Structure 1
Amino acid sequence: MLPHSFFAPARAAVLLALGCLGACSAPSSEPNVGAGPATAADSLGAAAPVAPAGSPLQIVAQFREPQIVGVAVLPDGRMFGDFPRWDNNPVAPVAEIGPGNSLTPYPDAEWCKWDETVRNEPQKHWICPQSVYVDPNGMLWVLDPASPGIKGTVAGGPKLVKIDPTTDKVVQNIAIPANVAPGKSYLNDVRVDPEAQYAYITESGIGSLVVIDLKTGKSRQLLARHKSMLGDTTLNIKADGKLLVDPTGKQGQFNADGIALSHDRQYLYWKPLTSYALYRIKTEALRNPALTDAQLAAQIEDLGKVPASDGMILDAQNNLYLSAFEDHSIKRRTPDGKIETVVQDPRLEWPDTFAFSADGRTLYVTNSAIHKTATWNQGVGQQDQHYHIFKLPVGK
């Protein structure tokens, strides 16, 4: 899940009210709460991508604003999204998504509040949540890098929070200290192993992995600025055929981003966003605090070339799904390294983050249209269509 900018100053935050806020009931086990098929124009009359004939993508939810990045789906079908405080100030930066695209602040309105009245409570409020994730036990985790506008972390704000959806209450709140998440860091995506009691996080600002012992709450920064963590600007990776260029003319370099945990939880996979390389390492090594970065680096496996992508997820058969933003597609890497196209659809405007249904047969994905934002389109915003959550059938 790519934040808007690591190099260009963020634009001033603008409060964009959510027209659909309010109480809502939970979606069914196969949520499909969107407003029908894609059309050729949105409510503003701007041209929007049209679904090709036979596309398996179905709209689950859509939002004119704010910009959605992450999606998480519980075993019972309840669905959650996160809307980072990048270039706007969403009322519900973490929300439960209900029928009719309704957004209910989650776990409550107080957690979603961030203004001058609560600046002295950075651990009790969402500052700039970047990732929502459901672990194998059905617990919801929210990762907050606490860097609104990507302008630097708020002191005391970076955190990993566990919520029990059966009570809608926070049950664990782990502060991530400044030596692990310093001012220029940006905690990006998370995977949790509830059996081993560890969390694994990609960090994109510096380029590192963060490992958290959930029993003690202790976190460690690993492999900072190692080559496997860093994007490569020499590749000229594009979206819609255009380079990602900030308002100053500087081409973007995006570091460790996508992350996936194998179903046996023995391997962690990751890749920098502006890179065609894929890596993995045994989680046992990451959990060993006696290993130095040099010893860890020796255990990294280079899995070869894959498409440039943002989000990643592994299924039970160890197929790795990748959100390939360069050609509006979702790709799948089989265990033997073969790359397959699952779906290619122009509505996948920067496919971002994935989630599976409980049976693994339905894949959910967001589109965040990051390449159309002013921050990465030379200062000219061109995102004039809806953001979406799509679903499509996969597996058997």
Structure 2
Amino acid sequence: MYHPRPTLLCLLLLGLLTTAFATACDDDDDFAPASDALELVAEIEGVQITGITVTDEGRVFGTFPRWREGVPYTLAEIVDGQPVPYPSTEMNNWDIGDAPTDKLVNVQSAIAVGDTLYVDDTRNPLMNGLITAPRIHLIDLRTNSLLRTYDLPDGTTYPETYVNDLRVDRTRQLVYFTDSGRGGLMVLDLTTGNSWRVLDGHPSVQAEFDTLVIDGDPFMMETPSDGIALDSTGDRLLYHALSGYTLYSVPLDALADSSATDVGSEVTTVATTPAPDGLWRVPGATLMADLENQSVVRVTDGGNVTTLVEGEGVGWADTFTEYDGYLYFTNSRIPESDSTVAGMLYPIWRLPLR
């Protein structure tokens, strides 16, 4: 079991943070550190950001879930350091209590793959339960127009489902999701539009505890399957409960078989880790947060944990993406954010990968 360190390296939010990174190498090789600055990409004031993705052309998109009333947009492009509602202000023009129209209700995650932005609209504002079936929107990044929308119906989802992270398997034309409301994985076939649920009720998708300890203080958080990462080389999906210390994997072929009845037998334990939110895969290792120690770590498949950067500015490292040799991530400041976030600053960081 991973045990949090008793002390933290406290750094100023806007100061330079010491980082350590290494070129991905063989699983059990020593990790060679390098000192670089953690760079501030943008700060979002008064609107809580969780998800981030960067396109092949360097466009940055963020997601802003409606966990409270008055969130002005739930999907935005970061332009000159400022969020611009995407794909339009009109599509983001929805608030708690409005009728569930075709507008974006509660976007948790989005990921850019090629010329397409895959957008997860949980349709579960305030995390109080679904108001309609969750929707997956595909947006053409060249024209900024909607290509197609998929619904995740009953059976794939439950009333308490909260569609959290997603990854796109271009080879199989499948999208994989975690359910952070009930616990489980979901699969969408982009060709047929069919979807199915796997590992429902399996121990690997359940929370292991109900309280994190952050900077010595307890923080109630009992969240099952949350972060996922696609390991294309190993043909597997890695996944992790937020409230847990275990990283699991399952073969992509097992997920692709909608008729499979015993996917649980294919699950393997990858490593014991800190408690994370999102995940990002590099050769031989997984990058993730150590939420209890306000840091980002590298965990090899052999279970070797190395701290890359830490401090108050890192905070609740939520979602990761990679572009042009940098790891981008958000600090969603979840333990600090209650119903009112006016005046709070939510940073987007980038960290050199080398």
* TM-score, normalised via structure 2 length: 0.87
- Asked whether 1:263 is paired with 2:227, we answer no
Q: 1:331 offset after TM fit, Å? A: 0.4
Q: 1:117 offset after TM fit, Å? A: 10
Give, in whole Å, the separation in 1 of the partners of 2:97 and 2:305. Answer: 50
> Aligned residue for 1:177?
153
- Asked whether 1:64 is paired with 2:55, we answer no
Give, in whole Å, the separation in 1 of the partners of 2:127 and 2:203. Answer: 23
Higher mean C-alpha displacement, 108-117 vs 214-223: 108-117
CA displacement 1:19-74 (0-9 Å, x = unmatched): xxxxxxxxxxxxxxxxxxxx96xxxxxxx675446762111010121000001100
Q: 1:333 offset after TM fit, Å? A: 1.4
CA displacement 1:290-322 (0-9 Å, x = unmatched): 211xx211110012311110010112x232100
Amino acid at match of 1:372: E
1:107 touches 1:169 (CA, 8 Å); kept in 2?
yes
Give, in whole Å, the separation in 2 of the partners of 1:97 and 1:214. Answer: 28
Amino acid at match of 2:44: F
- Asked whether 1:302 is paired with 2:269, we answer yes
Residue 105 to residue 264, structure 1, CA distance change in 2 (3 Å): same
- Asked whether 1:119 is paired with 2:88, we answer no
- Asked whether 1:276 is paired with 2:245, we answer yes
2:51 touches 2:64 (CA, 8 Å); kept in 1?
yes
Gaps spanning 5+ residues in structure 1: where? 1-38, 41-47, 246-251, 376-380
> Aligned residue for 2:25?
none
1:325 touches 1:348 (CA, 8 Å); kept in 2?
no
Give, in whole Å, the separation in 1 of the partners of 2:57 and 2:129. Answer: 37
Q: 1:88 offset after TM fit, Å? A: 3.6
Task: Please show how residues 1-396 of structure 1 align to structure 2 within 5 Å.
Answer: 50-52=15-17, 56-99=37-80, 101-115=81-95, 119=99, 121=101, 124-135=102-113, 137-156=114-133, 158-233=134-209, 236-245=211-220, 252-264=221-233, 266-292=235-261, 295-315=262-282, 317-357=283-323, 359=324, 361-374=325-338, 385-395=344-354
Give, in whole Å, the separation in 1 of the partners of 2:231 and 2:107. Answer: 24
Aligned-CA RMSD value: 2.2
Counterpart of 1:233 in 2: which secondary structure?
A: coil
2:77 touches 2:85 (CA, 8 Å); kept in 1?
yes
Give the fraction of aligned pairs with identical amino acids, expressed as a percent. 30
Residue 218 to residue 385, structure 1, CA distance change in 2 (3 Å): same
Residue 384 to residue 297, structure 1, CA distance change in 2 (3 Å): same
1:321 touches 1:333 (CA, 8 Å); kept in 2?
yes
CA displacement 1:245-274 (0-9 Å, x = unmatched): 3xxxxxx31100010001337110001011
2:51 touches 2:319 (CA, 8 Å); kept in 1?
yes
Q: 1:203 offset after TM fit, Å? A: 0.5
Give the ranges of 4+ consecutive aligned residues of structure 1 lying more than 3 Å apart after TM superposition.
48-55, 115-118, 381-385
Higher mean C-alpha displacement, 334-343 vs 183-192: 334-343
Higher mean C-alpha displacement, 111-120 vs 60-69: 111-120
1:132 touches 1:142 (CA, 8 Å); kept in 2?
yes
Amino acid at match of 1:193: D
Amino acid at match of 1:154: I
Give, in whole Å, the separation in 2 of the partners of 1:163 and 1:309. Answer: 29
CA displacement 1:144-183 (0-9 Å, x = unmatched): 1111111111124x11111110111111210111332222
Q: 1:283 offset after TM fit, Å? A: 0.5
Residue 120 to residue 255, structure 1, CA distance change in 2 (3 Å): closer
* TM-score, normalised via structure 1 length: 0.78
Q: 1:371 offset after TM fit, Å? A: 1.1
Higher relative contact order (CA 8 A, sep 6+): 2
1:263 touches 1:314 (CA, 8 Å); kept in 2?
no
Residue 383 to residue 325, structure 1, CA distance change in 2 (3 Å): farther
Counterpart of 1:298 in 2: which secondary structure?
A: helix
CA displacement 1:350-386 (0-9 Å, x = unmatched): 11000100x4x100000001011237xxxxx799641
Residue 191 to residue 329, structure 1, CA distance change in 2 (3 Å): same
Amino acid at match of 1:130: Q
Residue 179 to residue 201, structure 1, CA distance change in 2 (3 Å): same
Counterpart of 2:266 in 1: which secondary structure?
A: coil
Amino acid at match of 1:146: R
Gaps spanning 5+ residues in structure 2: where? 1-10, 19-34
Which of the two has greater strand per residue? 2
Residue 384 to residue 52, structure 1, CA distance change in 2 (3 Å): farther
